[in-house]
Chains A and B, each alone.
Chain A
Amino acid sequence: MSKTRRLLFRLGTLLVLLAIAACMMVVGRGHTVFLDNKTLEYNGQSYPALYKIEVEKDGETIAKLNKRERGKATNIGQTFDITLRITKEKKGAEEEQTIRIKLPYSMDGIILNLPGYLEGLPEEAYLSEFISSEETEPAPEDETPAEDEFGISSETEEAAPAN
């Protein structure tokens, strides 16, 4: 193999690996989505919470939200597909709606206000970033002793010679 061919082959391999890595960064980005069935105030107007919303993702019910309740879902990628079974009022008819929401790449935790979304409000109204209290307040360090699958913890290792 000539030197040029070898160099080209190596560069090609590097480019392919970089391309796969870039794809994985986009495709595999995980988000925690919090689904709110809460009254939303926007531009001086109030959008009330609905009586009941059942949320289904990939054929599985992930949340049953009554008024003022919050549900949680995880999603890999930037497209969030869910099916909502909405009951607007008590003893009212249930209607089904499938929705697709684009999630921003930069946000880890996202709050979706479902009544706001269903009213057709802009994204800034129904979507906001969830910031965990652990991020803002310093949490105590987890001092769980590290242990591998062989059952050797740092404590065991220290204790062993003494025995």
Chain B
Amino acid sequence: MKNMSFGQKVLTFIRDNTVPIMFVVICAICIPLSGFSFSYLLNEIITRMGRNIFLILALLIPIMSGMGLNFGMTLGAMAGEIALIFVSDWQIWGIPGVVLAMILSIPISVLLGAFCGKILNMAKGREMITSYIISFFMNGIYQLIVLYMMGSIIPIKHFSVKLPRGYGIRNTVSLLNMRQCLDNLLAIRIKGVKIPVLTFLIIALLCVFIIWFRRTKLGQDMRAVGQDLNVARDAGINVERTRIISIIISTVLAGFGMVIYLQNMGNIATYSSHSQIGMFCIAALLVGGASVDRASIGNVFLGVILFHTMFIVAPKAGAQITGDSMIGEYFRVFVSYGVITLSLIMYETKKRKNKSLVGQQLAMDQLSEEAK
């Protein structure tokens, strides 16, 4: 790197940060076209940061342990939703409701995380696609529980939660009595921009936890497992157990994140809130410059800002360019899937390139050995 010319350095920087640069360009084009005022845009971005960052931070630990992007975080989101359904049924409101939902989500998340971790251990090297399919499978179980078991086997009493037929949960469960209770407590307003201080404090605590966790024995073990499974096993690390723990932690954090996300939204779309959450969180993380094997807290923040700026401005910009706001709607969904695909292709290309470089180096070393 030191011997590189300035031009080469710039090229390397662009190559390493293609996705964030692409999004900066998209945002730079769309923001003026959308016509939104700066304060409106800032307000929206800050709200969405408070809503989404916790969920995205939940993805960091499995990446650290080499399990890639955890599409199974949807399982944690389901745990959070189930906990919130119970809390709504028991009519626990405000901050106590949020805290209780978080506590209730822990055992469900731990069970689901352990299940997911065990299966992922059986599918080493194919964790991402396996976790993606597990989330679809668990979605079926979730629908069965919420649609048929709640109210009939699992006691649900409140009429605002239960379907009029006597069992099953309504399409939408209102969280009006805990809506933005975390965001409004200690919130400050600067020139019309609301800053949810408590939510950001909770996010800061999680960031500190992640930084501390990386330095613990378990965190070091996870990094070792992430770098090379066999070397880690030879070093005496219980690889399978370490991987399961990393998925459990991620699922529990995703459960908490979903509670924070839904209290901000003010209602639960019972059968669909969780379905896209994994996809969008992963897309946001990748937009921030993370890859399948490397992600940092900085990537999370940058990703949320860029991805959600695009989400806010795209429909309006699309309407300005084409006269149809639906184009913008489709554009942002298309971009989400596109960015995941692009990142996966880039990761694979980079991996192969590095592998071939190592091969070439090895061949050259052998030739020089033979020449001696």
Contact = CB atoms under 8 A, between A and B. Distances in A.
A146 B95 contact: no
A27 B96 contact: yes
Query: Which of A23, A134, A149 has most chain B Cβ within 10 Å?
Result: A149
Interface in A13-44: 17, 20-21, 23-25, 27-31
A21 B103 CA distance: 7
Contacts of B177: 30, 74
B269 A147 contact: yes
Nearest to A30: B93
B164 A30 contact: no
Contact of B272 (A31, A135, A154, A163): A154
Interface string A37-75: 000000000000000000000000000000000000010
B172 A142 contact: yes
Interface in A88-108: 108
Interface string A136-152: 00111111101111111
Interface residues of B, number: 39
A138 B100 contact: no
Contacts of A17: 103, 106
A108 B103 contact: no
A24 B104 CA distance: 11
A55 B342 CA distance: 60
B37 interface: no
Contacts of A150: 276, 280, 311, 332-333
A138 B170 CA distance: 13
Interface in B170-186: 170-172, 177
A24 B96 contact: yes
Nearest to B265: A149
Contacts of A134: 159-160
A162 interface: no
Given A17-B103, A21-B103, A21-B104, A28 B96 contact: yes
A79 interface: no
B329 A156 contact: yes
Contacts of B171: 141-144, 146
Interface string A120-134: 000000000000101
Contact of B91 (A108, A139, A146): A108
B90 interface: yes
B269 A135 contact: no
A134 B104 CA distance: 28
B111 to A, nearest CB: 15
B164 A138 contact: yes
B213 interface: no
Contacts of B330: 160, 163
Nearest to A131: B159
A28 B311 contact: no
Contacts of B159: 132, 134-135, 139
A8 interface: no
B196 interface: no
B319 interface: no
Contacts of A24: 92, 96-97, 99-100, 103
Contact of B273 (A31, A144, A148): A148
A76 interface: yes
Given A28-B92, A28-B95, A141-B164, A146 B100 contact: no
A30 B87 CA distance: 11
Contacts of B272: 146-148, 154
B270 interface: yes
B314 to A, nearest CB: 10
Query: Which of A139, A151, A154 has most chain B Cβ within 10 Å?
Result: A151
B276 A25 contact: no
Interface string B89-115: 011111111011001101000000000
Interface in B91-142: 91-97, 99-100, 103-104, 106
A43 B347 CA distance: 81
Nearest to B103: A21
B271 interface: yes
Interface of A: 17, 20-21, 23-25, 27-31, 74, 76, 108, 132, 134-135, 138-144, 146-152, 154, 156, 160, 163
19 contacts: A17-B106, A21-B104, A24-B97, A25-B92, A25-B100, A28-B95, A28-B99, A30-B91, A76-B93, A108-B158, A138-B164, A139-B164, A141-B164, A142-B171, A142-B172, A146-B270, A146-B271, A151-B315, A152-B333
Interface of B: 51, 90-97, 99-100, 103-104, 106, 158-160, 163-165, 170-172, 177, 265, 269-273, 276-277, 280, 311, 315, 329-330, 332-333
